[in-house]
Amino acid sequence: MNSHFAELEPDVEPLGNVKDFVNEFISAVSAGTLLEGFTRRETLLLSGYLECFGVPRHATVLREGDESDFFAILVTGGAVITKLHDGAQKMICAINPGDLIGEMSMIDGQKRFASCITTVPSDFAVLTYDKFKALLADHPRLSNKVLLALLHTTTSRLSRATKELLPNLADFGFV
pLDDT digits (tens, 9 = 90+) for 47-73: 999 999 999 999 999 999 998 889 999
Q: What CATH number is associated with residue 86? A: 2.60.120.10
Whole-number pLDDT of residue 171: 63
Whole-number pLDDT of residue 104: 83
Task: Identify the domain containing residue 52 by its residue range.
Answer: 5-167
Whole-number pLDDT of residue 118: 97
- Residue ranges, the chain, pLDDT below 50: 1-2
175 belongs to a structural domain: no
Whole-number pLDDT of residue 11: 87
174 belongs to a structural domain: no
Containing 30, the helix (H) or strand (E) segment is helix 22-30
108 belongs to a structural domain: yes
110 belongs to a structural domain: yes
59 belongs to a structural domain: yes
148 belongs to a structural domain: yes
Whole-number pLDDT of residue 82: 95
E strands, 18-156, where? Answer: 51-55, 60-62, 70-76, 79-85, 88-95, 100-101, 115-118, 122-128
Whole-number pLDDT of residue 83: 92
Helix axes 22-30, 40-47, angle to 10 degrees: 120
Ramachandran sector of residue 16 (left: φ over 0; alpha: ψ -120 to 50; beta: rest): left
Whole-number pLDDT of residue 31: 77
Q: How many domains, the chain?
A: 1
137 belongs to a structural domain: yes
| pTM given for the model | 0.86
155 belongs to a structural domain: yes
